[in-house]
Amino acid sequence: MKPNNLIEKDIHHLVSGDFQSHFRDKKILITGASGLMGTYFTSLFQLFNRDFSGGAKLFLLSRSNDYPIAISKESTRLSLDLSGRLDFSDLPKVDFVIHCAGHAQPTLFQKSPISTLSINSTATLALLERVASSGVFLFLSSSEVYSGLKTTPYKEIYMGQTGPDHPRSAYIESKRFGEAIVCNSDLDFPEISTFAARLSLAYGPGVRVSDTRVLNQFIYKALKFGSIEMLDSGSSLRTYCYVSDAIEMCLRIMMVGKDKIYNVGGESRVSILELARNICRKTGASLSWPEDTQSGQLGAPTDVILDLEKIKSLSGKNSFVALEEGLDRTIEWFRDNLA
């Protein structure tokens, strides 16, 4: 199955009902358009235009023109480094801004902290000004804002307890800043609906094979080298969300959201060790790990699980792609791209 078809198969069902009335003939700007969430949003609206005569005008922002899927000639590609710009007045006014850009990989936000801070702060402020009257601004935040909390699952009324000297603070504090923009935008931008989606551990086809997050690195190493050598004992717990589920929830927030902040995550709960074992079983790779129980990533949480009652109530979503199925699709994507 070709890459575009694999992703379109995931999302074709989303282009139905009130989706079409909300997005038909709209101007939509997607930042981080070549990343995982940006790729799925791009594919969704391109499919809408192609198969449903959607008439949506897409503006795709990415630091490079290296996209994991084919980009239609009707979509406008803009190569921009958001961390280096304070003024976006040359960009068109649009009906929707979907701000997916940001260094979500720990190796990136720890290597480029100032760039990470800029994308989620000054760039977010500047992009907000590109939303037309009665438009919608969606900021992709992160479950990292809960860092430091001991009580799970995390509810939207909670906030983490880490300080600015935390090893991951550039990412954590900048996401909190972006949320503060969303929550305080009404006085300066009363005609715009602003939302923040606290996204947790989205995965799936569309990700780059060079992505250094744990699940993706496990698949890459299993397929490329036939083995996974873990950095620690893998006792930390994670709850993964297949990307099409995340896209569906984000769409509902933009279409019918009433509050400013929503958790967006999945229900596939697993330890890092169990995740590695699942991937090895599916790929035939071998697995090894040290006895050390300390996390291999400095400052990484030992448990991540979101309370989803609020987003479930808004969206009516009660079924999620199971981890077994999601891993199969993601492994297929990696196989196609490594080939």
What's the mean pLDDT when you consider all of the chain?
92
Q: What is the mean pLDDT of residues 59-63?
A: 94
Q: State yes or no: pLDDT of 126 exceeds 70.
A: yes
- pLDDT tens-digit map of 68-115: 999 999 999 998 888 877 788 899 999 999 999 987 767 766 777 888
The predicted model scores a pTM of 0.94
Distance CA 92, CA 87 (A): 12
**Residues 70, 4 contacting (CB under 8 angstroms):** yes
Start-to-end Cα distance in the chain: 13
Distance CA 1, CA 8 (A): 11
* Residue 43 CA: distances (Å) to CA of 95, 246, 335: 18, 14, 20
Distance CA 337, CA 339 (A): 5
Distance CA 224, CA 48 (A): 35
Q: What is the mean pLDDT of residues 21-47?
A: 97
24: left (phi over 0), alpha (psi -120 to 50) or beta: beta
The contacts of residue 138 (CB under 8 Å, 6+ apart) are 96, 97, 98, 99, 194, 195, 196, 197, 250, 253, 254
Beta strands in 162-236 (DSSP E): 193-199, 202-203, 227-229
Is 213 in a helix, a strand, or coil? coil
- Phi, psi (deg, nearest 5) at residue 261: -125, 135
Rg of the chain over Cα atoms, rounded to whole angstroms, equals: 19
Q: What's the confidence (pLDDT) of residue 8?
A: 93
- pLDDT tens-digit map of 288-332: 988 765 555 666 778 889 999 999 999 999 999 999 999 999 999
* pLDDT level of residue 133 (50, 70, 90 thresholds): very high
* Residue 320 CA: distances (Å) to CA of 59, 64, 198, 267, 269: 30, 32, 17, 7, 12
Nearest to 96 by CA among 253, 311, 249: 253
In eight-state DSSP terms, residue 211 is -
Position 191, amino acid: E
Distance CA 332, CA 339 (A): 11
Least confidently predicted of 5-9, 51-55, 227-231, 299-303: 299-303
Q: What percent of the chain has pLDDT over 90?
A: 73
- Phi, psi (deg, nearest 5) at residue 236: -65, 145
- pLDDT tens-digit map of 241-288: 999 999 999 999 999 999 999 999 999 999 999 999 999 999 999 999
Ordered structural domains, the chain, with CATH: 3-202+242-266+307-320 (3.40.50.720), 203-241+267-306+321-339 (3.90.25.10)
- Phi, psi (deg, nearest 5) at residue 195: -140, 155
Provide the pairing of β-strand 237-242 with 268-271. Answer: antiparallel
* Residue 317 CA: distances (Å) to CA of 264, 301, 310, 313: 11, 27, 11, 8
Nearest to 208 by CA among 72, 6, 36, 78: 36
Q: What's the confidence (pLDDT) of residue 284?
A: 97
Q: What percent of the chain has pLDDT over 70?
A: 95
Q: What's the confidence (pLDDT) of residue 1?
A: 41
